[in-house]
Amino acid sequence: MKLGKHFTNRRIGLGEVTLNVEYAGDGPPLLLLHGYPETHLMWHGVAEALARDFQVICPDLRGYGDSDKPPSPDDHSAYSKRAMARDMVELMTELGHQRFAVAGHDRGARVCHRLCLDYPERVERACVMDIAPTLHMFRHTDQAFATGYYHWFFLIQSDGLPEHMIGQDPCYYLREKLNRWSGPNAGFNPDVMAEYERCFSDPDTIHASCEDYRAAAGIDLVHDTEDFRAGRKVECPLLVLWGEQGFVHRSYDVLAVWREYATRVEGHTLPCGHFLPEEAPGPTLDALHRFFLR
């Protein structure tokens, strides 16, 4: 399955990994980064419309979809957001883009955050969807957070425990995650769901996604703490979008939190749960157009 009839699918070799990528359009470059436990196909409801005004680039992050799943050292650094952000810079360079806009959802939003910090000269504008910064969330962990985001603590367990348990029925686990995080009466495209299930049923994907979360609870926090203590913030204009039916909305003063980590912040809720581009494609598209076409 492709994002749309005008999209080109390629596997693009970079420094450490080869990424599966789809792209279309002739306008200014807009990089779209997916979240867990999905693939680049999560953008299917907005990608074609965005490609009328932008060159839309949708990769599978390393470890996900049909992109490479490299081995990781004991510090899980192969799946740090720094490594993933470097992938994106190398990808955009390969496609001929020195400056670009980026939007990310969930894990992709955390890569987007790191991309803005590590490569401020490359990012013109950025959008993060339905997250608070990783450092803030870990620093403010309580029972409600541990209950709602139990997977953050489950997936980081060592010795293959989560890999073994998820691997007993990966399609059930994936469907349950989508159902628990989405708003009431949310529906997912059956063809896209079939692709999610195909990709997530690969044991290498399950392991890589656990490594992603292990990195978030370890080396990513080291990087984030260094930046926070040094006063380094996202300097480009930042749009923050989140679902009014989700955990982030219930738990944080979202814009106030992001203003501790970025200098030019705006944003608002959308009428959905966690999966904004799939649950509310129209409002998501409108918000992205208004922000990125300025």
Q: How does residue 271 score in pLDDT terms, banded at 50, 70 and 90?
A: very high
Active site residue 151: no
The mean per-residue pLDDT over the stretch 173-196 comes to: 94
Distances (CA, A) of 90 to 13, 51, 125: 9, 21, 18
Amino acid letter at 247? Answer: F
What residue spans define the domains of the chain? 8-292
Q: How does residue 108 score in pLDDT terms, banded at 50, 70 and 90?
A: very high
pLDDT tens-digit series, residues 110-168:
999 999 999 999 999 999 999 999 999 999 999 999 999 999 999 999 999 999 999 99
Q: Give me the CATH topology for the region 8-292.
A: Rossmann fold (3.40.50)
Q: Which of the residues 106, 130, 224, 227 is marked catalytic?
A: 106
Please say whether the beta carbons of 50 and 285 come within 8 A: yes
Name every residue whose Cβ is closer than 8 Å to that of residue 260 and which is 6 or more positions away in sequence: 133, 136
Q: Write down the pLDDT at residue 5.
A: 86
Which tokens in the block code for residue 103? 């939007």
Please say whether the beta carbons of 132 and 157 come within 8 A: no
Q: Which of the residues 34, 44, 97, 274 is marked catalytic?
A: 274
φ, ψ (nearest 5 deg) of residue 84: -65, -40
> Mean pLDDT in the chain?
97
Q: Which residues pair with 267 in a beta bridge?
A: 240
The mean per-residue pLDDT over the stretch 223-240 comes to: 98
Burial zone of 90 (CB within 10 Å; 0-12 exposed, 13-18 middle, 19+ buried): middle
Q: Write down the pLDDT at residue 185.
A: 82
For the whole prediction, is pTM greater than 0.95? yes
Calpha distance 70→16 (Å, rounded): 8
| Closest by Cα among 7, 51, 49, 9 to 26 | 51
Within 10 angstroms of residue 188's Cβ, the number of other Cβ atoms is 17
Q: Write down the pLDDT at residue 2.
A: 86
Q: Write down the pLDDT at residue 4.
A: 87
Active site residue 220: no
The mean per-residue pLDDT over the stretch 31-58 comes to: 98
What percent of the chain clears pLDDT 70, i.e. is strictly above it?
Answer: 100
